[in-house]
Amino acid sequence: MLAILRNRTYRHLFAAQIIALVGTGLATVALGLLAFDLAGENAGAVLGTALAIKMIAYVGVAPIASAFAERVPRRAMLVALDLVRAGVAVFLPFVTEIWQVYILIFMLQSASAAFTPNFQATIPDILPDEKAYTRALSLSRLAYDLESVVSPMLAAALLSFITFHSLFAGTVIGFLASAALVVSVTLPSPKPARPRGIYDRTTRGIRIYLATPRLRGLLAVNLAVASAGALVIVNTVVYVQAAFGLDNQATALSLAAFGGGSMAAALALPRLLDTVPDRAAMLTGASLLTGGTLLAAVLPGYGWMLPLWFVLGIGYSTAQTPSGRLLKRSANPEDRPALFAAQFALSHACWLIAYPLAGWAGAALGLPFTAVILAAVAAVAIGIALAIWPADDPVVLAHTHEDLPADHPHLAGSGRGHRHAHAYVIDDMHAAWPRER
């Protein structure tokens, strides 16, 4: 898996991702402490609102940002967004009012909503080989999981001799280092074949996404992942400390078990995906999540929670990691930023539904009933994915172009008039998925 780090461009981008993730993790810890400093016992409400603002920024800003991505060199855009994020983080230690937290979080997460899809869309351009790209996806998943473990540990160590306000300096340094690593390499910036209007550019990714059967199936998988993942992220502390009467250390160990399962799956996926289709792997992962979430309704004690959370982590990574492969094969290079932005927005829209459902149902109905509700939502989502994502999902499709003259350049070499076959994606020449095979 580590062989792909021999590629200098990818190595620098991966290092930029890790450093920025650690900086973001430090900011997450510091933000929680800042919320308590400002709001005391109401800190949970402040953080909940900040999380909702984050999701709204992700859902609303990503498609709009992608509309302007094609007009700016990709490296310049990524560096500028890193600098914006660093600039916003500079102001966080000086916050004195809760409303200031909300404004700065919206600005920070809006920049991230523009940065992340364009960053993700760059990787398949520099690693066009499918196996290399799969390994890059697994490394990215590992980076996210390791960050969730390393950042709190690093924050705890730093807080032994600095104040939490100083943790935001680590966030600033992380974004500046990320910008320096991005500027140190040359990145491809594919351009569309023809100029497009603002509406076309803003909606293009979502239109491609919703017109592609495998991506409609991916959206359903996203909902299953969010439903099960929300139980873990929102209610782990409730299970451990309210239901089982344990402490913060036990909560951290539970989340570590979930992260450990995710990392184990990420390490195994590159070889697994060499032989198992993406659809089968992702639906198996989503099914593990659904079954595990249902079992959480009858969780008898903490000793059973750790292995169950480990299994949920395996399902989480297995269902999520291959999504980049689906996006890569579902768009031309110039449309990938828009498509990755659509995935970013739509997947976070699923989380925007699942987070409050897990929180409100947990508080009003109790954990067992909440687990049943979330498992039911995930099961329905899997059923939808099975129905709308064909098991036979070839990349190359035969199709006809009755609206084109037989001598049109797009049909050159077909030898069969208006009918030909090639790797099929939704683009200017192909507005809808072919019904005939």
pLDDT tens digits along 279-297: 999 999 999 999 999 999 9
Tally of domains within the chain: 2
d(CA 111, CA 109): 5
Q: Are residues 174 and 210 both part of a single domain?
A: no
pLDDT over 60 (residue 436)? no
Which of these three, 190, 224, 246, is where a domain ends? 190
pLDDT over 80 (residue 189)? no
What does the pLDDT read at residue 372?
Answer: 97
pLDDT over 90 (residue 220)? yes
Angle at 259 between CA 257 and CA 260, to 5 degrees: 60
Band (pLDDT 50/70/90 cuts) for residue 223 is very high
What does the pLDDT read at residue 374?
Answer: 95
Q: Are residues 156 and 207 both part of a single domain?
A: no
CB 306 within 8 A of CB 240: no
CB 172 within 8 A of CB 90: yes
Q: Are residues 155 and 212 both part of a single domain?
A: no
**Mean pLDDT of the residues in the chain:** 85
pLDDT over 80 (residue 119)? yes
In a domain, 409, yes or no: no
Sequential DSSP letters for 190-257: ---SS---HHHHHHHHHHHHHHSHHHHHHHHHHHHHHHHHHHHHHHHHIIIIIIS---HHHHHHHHHH
Task: For residues 331-355, give the mean pLDDT.
Answer: 89
Helix (H) or strand (E) holding 14: helix 8-39
Between 380 and 74, residue with greater pLDDT:
380
In a domain, 435, yes or no: no
CB 14 within 8 A of CB 133: no
In a domain, 436, yes or no: no
Q: Are residues 148 and 261 both part of a single domain?
A: no
In a domain, 402, yes or no: no
What's 59's domain CATH number?
1.20.1250.20
Q: In a 3-state reduction of DSSP, which class is residue 306?
A: helix
Which span out of 70-74, 102-106, 250-254 was modeled with the highest average pLDDT? 102-106
Lowest average pLDDT, out of 199-208, 210-219, 410-419, goes to 410-419
Partner residues linked to 419 by β-bridges: 400
CB 288 within 8 A of CB 312: yes
Partner residues linked to 396 by β-bridges: 423
Neighbours of 60 (CB within 10 A): 16
In a domain, 177, yes or no: yes
Q: Are residues 173 and 216 both part of a single domain?
A: no
What Cα–Cα distance (Å) separates residue 181 from each residue in 3, 9, 14, 124, 220?
A: 20, 9, 9, 18, 35
Q: Are residues 133 and 176 both part of a single domain?
A: yes
What does the pLDDT read at residue 45?
Answer: 63
What does the pLDDT read at residue 3?
Answer: 75
Band (pLDDT 50/70/90 cuts) for residue 156 is low
d(CA 400, CA 71): 33
The CA radius of gyration of the chain, in Å to the nearest whole number, is: 22
Task: Tokens for 111, please give them.
Answer: 């920049």
d(CA 158, CA 136): 31
Structural domain containing residue 51? 8-190
Lowest average pLDDT, out of 64-78, 144-158, 166-180, 324-338, goes to 144-158
- pLDDT tens digits along 13-56: 989 988 888 888 788 777 767 776 777 766 656 766 777 788 88
d(CA 328, CA 125): 9
In a domain, 416, yes or no: no
pLDDT over 60 (residue 263)? yes
Task: Give the residue among 212, 213, 203, 214 at the shortest CA–CA distance from 431.
Answer: 212
What does the pLDDT read at residue 132?
Answer: 87
Q: Are residues 207 and 142 both part of a single domain?
A: no
Which span out of 178-187, 358-367, 411-420, 423-432 was modeled with the highest average pLDDT? 178-187
Furthest-apart CA atoms within the chain: distance in Å? 75
Q: Are residues 269 and 384 both part of a single domain?
A: yes
What does the pLDDT read at residue 127?
Answer: 86
- pLDDT tens digits along 359-373: 888 888 889 999 999
Which of these three, 190, 223, 258, is where a domain ends? 190
Task: For residues 1-20, give the mean pLDDT.
Answer: 86
Q: What phi, psi does 196 have (nearest 5°)?
A: -130, 150
In sequence order, which residues have a C-beta less than 8 Å from that of residue 205 and are 6 or more positions away?
Answer: 63, 66, 335, 337, 338, 339, 340, 341, 342
Q: Are residues 214 and 336 both part of a single domain?
A: yes
Task: For residues 211-235, give the mean pLDDT.
Answer: 93
Q: Are residues 32 and 118 both part of a single domain?
A: yes
Q: Are residues 34 and 175 both part of a single domain?
A: yes
Contacts within 8 Å (CB) and 24+ apart, 358-361: 358/230, 358/231, 358/233, 358/234, 358/235, 359/48, 359/234, 359/235
Task: Tokens for 362, please give them.
Answer: 């947990």
d(CA 160, CA 217): 47
- pLDDT tens digits along 308-319: 999 999 999 999
- pLDDT tens digits along 45-86: 676 677 778 888 888 888 887 777 667 788 898 999 999 999
What does the pLDDT read at residue 317?
Answer: 93
In sequence order, which residues have a C-beta less than 8 Å from that of residue 87 and are 6 or more positions away?
Answer: none
Band (pLDDT 50/70/90 cuts) for residue 415 is low
Band (pLDDT 50/70/90 cuts) for residue 377 is very high
pLDDT over 90 (residue 184)? yes
In sequence order, which residues have a C-beta less than 8 Å from that of residue 41 and are 6 or more positions away?
Answer: none
pLDDT over 60 (residue 437)? no
What does the pLDDT read at residue 407?
Answer: 73
Band (pLDDT 50/70/90 cuts) for residue 304 is very high
What does the pLDDT read at residue 249?
Answer: 77
pTM for the complete prediction?
0.85
In a domain, 25, yes or no: yes
In sequence order, which residues have a C-beta less than 8 Å from that of residue 380 and are 6 or more positions away?
Answer: none
CB 398 within 8 A of CB 306: no
Task: For residues 80-109, give the mean pLDDT.
Answer: 89
Band (pLDDT 50/70/90 cuts) for residue 153 is low
Between 38 and 268, residue with greater pLDDT:
268
Band (pLDDT 50/70/90 cuts) for residue 167 is confident
Task: Give the residue among 334, 323, 61 at the shortest CA–CA distance from 202.
Answer: 61
In a domain, 407, yes or no: no
Residue type, 23: G
Task: Tokens for 367, please give them.
Answer: 């954990």
Q: Are residues 184 and 308 both part of a single domain?
A: no
